[in-house]
Structure 1
Amino acid sequence: MKKFVLLTAVMTILASCGSNDKGELVGDKGKSWHPEKPYGMELIPGGSFIMGKGDDDLAGVQDAPAKTATVRAFYMDATEITNSEYREFVNWVRDSILRYKLAVLADEVGKVPDDGGIGEYAFKDADTANMSVYEKYMFENYTGLGPTGYEGRKINNKVKLIFDTSKYPDEYYTEVMDTMYLPLEDSYNGQRTWDVKKFKFQYSHMDIQEAARNRGIKRRDAIVKEEIEVYPDTAVWIRDFSYSYNEPMHNDYFWHDAYSEYPVVGVTWKQAKAFCEWRTIKKNSYQKSRKAAMVNTFRLPSEAEWEYAARGGLQAATYPWGGPYTKSDRGCFMANFKPVRGDYAADQALYTVEAKSYEPNDYNLFNMAGNVAEWVNASYDPSSYEYTSTINPSVNDKNNQRKIVRGGSWKDVAYFLQVSSRDYEYADSARSYIGFRTVQDYMGTQATGNKK
């Protein structure tokens, strides 16, 4: 007993040594936090607003009755996600899959970096000499626990991929690259293109709503695994319009540099969600390399967040610029839409326009009306405004595949450009007039529209 008391006293003394708190409860203080605005985003201060139709519902849909709602502060992309930004996602997925396939084949044929050729693309753990104690422990105890036997193994991202066929290093490299292209019988004019069906992004996320409501559920059962094809459906330019010549948009819109700063289209709701997950992974990988704090996840906005941001601080306005007209005092249209029957060019645009076209709203957000409609993280229920919460209202039923799109597009009439108008499309559908933008939660509660 004496030894126990002595040991306790020694531990107490040691715990107090080197501390300046004088034995007082001062809290476990970590690093000071300084909010960093993500690149290309604008801070939307939290606050309350009148959500829904502030005037007559001319279409008689009656799915957006006016109600007061409050949303927390968040960051939002100043523009819709562009072709250039989405191409970065597609190329990242493509390169990751290529590196993985090269590493697997190198492992199967017993090639290591010193062998050159495909060996340069071997898994990083092919040489265990430079592993830390932790990496070696994880490698010996967890690597390969899955259906393929390669789970947990790290690919080599430093060595450059070779796309010039005349410079392929060996026959193994050639074999892997050949599997990623369409077969020769599916090619024409000597051009082989990527088999885009093989560009799939895999990720996992936790269903927080399910975990919170079902207290008896195991954590592992709340983790959802997804595998999504990432390549946008360029054929939407043809399928969306019967008896219409839109082949140039099908051929060039996504890949050609002339359209790099135009909003990406042909992306499903599920692909937009996958993009958000990838963007979070990309940013946090950088944060980890700098030993900096991880950032919040990027995600699609809720319906209330989207409408609040679109209004730009204007209460009961019809459009992001106020209204009630779609033209400025100089007679210029304020957005890209279809103002006249059959006349798509009246607003100085035929299809989409560059993401930073027209004047931004008071939150410095571009094209919150027109250009392309935008996916939001919400399911369509015509009566949802009647039962949702008044703080951060959100309805996203995983069994309801009708997902909300907001803002109207280049092919829509003015009604759909109104900040309160609701529309929907199915989650697995892609359209030539639907894109998206992302948001990120603001850490803390001080950024409000009412702050002095």
Structure 2
Amino acid sequence: MNFKRLKPFVFIALAAFVSGCGLFGIGGKGDSSRTTGWEYNAEETGNIPNISGYEQEAGPGLVFVQGGTFTMGRVEQDVMYRNDNYPRRVTVASFYMDETEVSNQDYREFTHWTGRVYPGDVERMKAITPDSSVWRRDLAYNEPYVNNYFRHPAYSEYPVVGVSWEQAEAYCAWRTDRVNEQILVDREIITHDNTQTGENVYTTDTYLAGLYQGTEGDKPVENPDGTTRRPKWEDGIMLPNYRLPTEAEWEYAAYGLIGNTDGELLTDRKLYPWNGSYLRQDKKKEKGRLKANFVRGRGDMMGMAGALNDNADIAAPVFSYEPNDYNLYCMSGNVNEWVADVYRPMSLNDVEEFNPFRGNVITEYRRDPNGQLMRDQYGELIRDTIAGMDYRNVLDGDPTSQIVEGDTWIGNDKQTEGMYIQDDRPGAFSSLIDDEVRVYKGGSWLDRPYWLVPGTRRYLEQTKAQNDLGFRCAMTRVGSPEGF
């Protein structure tokens, strides 16, 4: 039985079950407070809200990754001599992650929706369309990929490439809204409105703020007193945001160490997402075949005719090769993957031991002089960075990170530009490190085995794209690490 093909139907069935069972275990009349004895959700006590027994379901395409502690960083020789990744122990909270890289078909849903809802908006379409020119090489015949890789159905299940970090972020936001919109449709709280356009487009934020004027369904949320209302975030109906995984989350999930433990004892560390240091299968039926899609040696992208070893000249379909112990596919090879983190050589010295991450930018909704939420021309709520809460550069270029004695550093208000040489003059040396450079990981069909090790890391400007760089989404888990 093909369980991958059943997943969408399982999710729909779960949504239907939840829809028929009420508001995720909403406390009924008779449930009372342990502290006051007052009844919850009862009119005579003021309808004190209480929802008990909430358990988060995985969103479409996601699998559960149970968190824990692991040693993050380099596990073999630092052949690049960057010294930016020595091992350190950290803890990652449980989360959800796409079982595969985002495919061309997945991403085409995004571009199709955008073209339908914003017809004629050339700039918006251009901003999200993958850059097919990444396939071009001066001395290679790659034009067929320029024309076909993203658009042709032959490549529908291949990982999307040519997407920048910013485009990956935009996809995550769009996917969040479409999944939450479908949840509300499945529960008959709203109905699909294929005429939405301009400012009146469903987003999770605008819906929760009461600004989206869609078509109401037959089953709005019912209060204990019989009145109805829109769902609130506190009801637990909608899912948290899809987002890019942090570097720590990605690396932790790639290793899949749950198959290498005896109680709390880690019996075997891993070099790759599979056990052992070998790149070939040792099972009898597939003995000798490669476990991932990568370059074996100069000019050898896929093996010889009659015995194509990894059966992939470029990328391979997203469900290729065996998954790791978290049931995640292609965490080594196939295409590299963007993660959320801003790159710094010495972040490992600065980040927290729990959920390490560099890249926090804390925002708030913009309001007009009357206190009303403000939206852009697409109806999306505008967010502004709170003063002093852009933490991409913290402990790296700010006064607390100075290594020079005296007050010269503080007096000049140095930031990243003062730590790393930035020189745009032709022929001049300039560091690639700034606040818009992001980490990517995983190795690809263009890479040698060194980059298949999850502990390795590289970086690229967040506006750039490559023909071997894609992404997958993650989602925060709310509540306990595995349920009680």
Give the TM-score range, shorter chain: 0.5 to 0.7
Report the CA distance between 1:280 and its aligned residue: 0.6
How many residue pairs get aligned? The number is 307
The code of the aligned residue for 2:37 comes to E
Residue 199 (structure 1) aligned with residue 95 (structure 2) = no
Using the alignment, how far apart are the partners of 1:311 and 1:416 within structure 2?
A: 14
Partner in structure 2 of residue 42 of structure 1: 63
2:275 pairs with 1:322: yes
Please state how far the C-alpha of 1:421 moved relative to its aligned partner: 0.3
Distance 1:439 1:34, change over 3 A: same
For 1:375, which of 319, 338, 361 is the aligned residue? 338
Match of 2:21?
Answer: none
Q: 2: distance between equivalents of 1:38 and 1:284?
A: 9
Q: Which residue of 2 aligns with 1:233?
A: 131
Residue pair 1:41, 1:77 contacting (<8 A) in 2 also: yes
CA radius of gyration, larger in: 1
Match of residue 37 from structure 2: 24
Q: Residue 39 of structure 1 aligns to a residue in which SS?
A: coil
Is the partner of 1:95 in helix, strand or coil? helix
Question: Quick check: 395-404 or 272-281, which moved more?
Answer: 395-404
Output aligned runs, 1:430-441, within 5 Å: 430-441=465-476
User: What secondary structure is seen at the aligned counterpart in 1 of 2:280?
Assistant: coil
Which of 310, 314, 320 in structure 2 is aligned with 1:351?
Answer: 314
Instruction: Give the Cα separation in 1 of the matches to 2:113 and 2:95.
Output: 27
Alpha-carbon shift at residue 55 of structure 1 (Å): 3.6
1:244 correspondence with 2:140: yes
User: Is 1:417–2:452 an aligned residue pair?
Assistant: yes
Q: 1:382 deviation in Å?
A: 1.2
1:429 matched residue in structure 2 = 464
Displacement of 1:25 in angstroms is 5.2
Does the aligned pair in 1 maintain the 2:93–2:481 contact within 8 Å?
A: no
Structure 2 match to 1:278: 174
Instruction: Give the corresponding residue for 1:103.
Output: none
Distance (Å, rounded) in 2 between the aligned partners of 1:53 and 1:258: 37
Residue 242 (structure 1) shift:
2.6
Q: Which residue of 2 aligns with 1:394?
A: 357
2:297 maps to 340
- Secondary structure in structure 2 of the residue aligned to 1:337: coil
| 8 A Cα contact 2:162 2:469, kept in partner | yes
Shift in alpha-carbon separation, 1:25–1:67, aligned structure 2, 3 A: farther
**Which residue of structure 1 lines up, in the alignment, with residue 117 of structure 2?**
96
**One-letter amino acid matched to 1:24:** G
Listed as ranges, the gaps of 5+ residues in structure 2 are 1-28, 41-48, 190-230, 232-236, 261-267, 304-309, 360-391, 394-433
Q: Residue 366 of structure 1 aligns to a residue in which SS?
A: coil
Letter in structure 2 aligned against 1:75: Y
Cα offset, 1:288, TM superposition = 3.0
| Aligned counterparts of 1:42 and 1:392: Cα–Cα separation in 2 | 19
Q: Which residue of 1 aligns with 2:81?
A: 60
TM-score relative to the length of structure 2: 0.60
TM-score, scaled relative to structure 1: 0.64
Q: Deviations over 1:265-310 (max 9, x none)?
A: 0000000000000001111112333247111000000000000000
Give the conservation status (yes or no) of the 8 Å contact 1:298–1:439: yes
Over the aligned positions, Cα root-mean-square deviation in angstroms equals 2.1
Instruction: Determine which of 441, 455, 460 is the counterpart of 1:406.
Output: 441
Per the alignment, do residues 267 and 394 of structure 1 end up closer, same or farther by CA in structure 2, a change over 3 Å counting? same
1:73 matched to 2:59? no
Query: Is residue 31–residue 39 contact of structure 2 (8 Å, CA) maintained in 1?
Result: no
Q: Does 1:288 align with 2:184?
A: yes
Question: 1:106-145 residue pairs with structure 2 within 5 A?
Answer: none
Choose 384-393 or 60-69, whichever is displaced more. 60-69
Contact 2:62/2:97 (<8 A) preserved: yes
Q: Distance in 1 between matches of 2:334 and 2:326?
A: 18
Look up the match of 1:312.
256
Per-residue CA deviations over 1:187-221 (Å, capped at 9, x if unaligned) read xxxxxxxx854516xxxxxxxxxxxxxxxxxxxxx
Tell me whether 299-308 or 313-322 shows the greater mean CA deviation: 313-322
Q: Deviation at 1:21?
A: 3.9
The aligned amino acid for 2:60 is: Y
Letter in 2 for 1:423: R
2:324 to 347, 356, 361: 361
The answer to whether the 8 Å contact 1:69/1:392 transfers is: yes
Q: Secondary structure at the match of 1:264?
A: coil
Question: In percent, how many aligned pairs have the same letter?
Answer: 39
Q: 1:260 to 1:20 in 2, by over 3 A?
A: closer
Deviations 1:162-203 (A, max 9, x none): xxxxxxxxxxxxxxxxxx4xxxxxxxxxxxxxx854516xxx
Find the aligned partners of 2:96 and 2:456 in 1 and give their Cα distance.
22
Find runs of 4+ consecutive structure 1 residues off by over 6 angstroms.
none
Deviation of the 1:58 alpha carbon? 3.8
Give the conservation status (yes or no) of the 8 Å contact 1:196–1:231.
no
The alpha-carbon distance between structure 1 residues 19 and 89, as it changes in their structure 2 partners (threshold 3 A), is: same
**Equivalent residues of 1:72, 1:445 under 8 A apart:** no
Displacement of 1:38 after TM fit? Answer: 1.7
Answer whether contact 2:59 2:239 (CA < 8 A) is retained: no
Q: Work out the CA distance in 2 between the residues paired with 1:19 and 1:433.
A: 58
Q: Deviations over 1:360-402 (max 9, x none)?
A: 1010000000100000000111111111111000012276111
Task: Say which SS state the counterpart of residue 302 (structure 2) adopts.
Answer: helix
Report the Cα offset of residue 244 of structure 1.
0.6
Q: Which of the pair is proportionally richer in helix?
A: 1
Quick check: 412-421 or 287-296, which moved more? 287-296
Aligned letter for 1:436? F
Q: Structure 1 residues 29 and 352 mapped into 2: Cα distance closer, same or farther (>3 Å)?
A: same
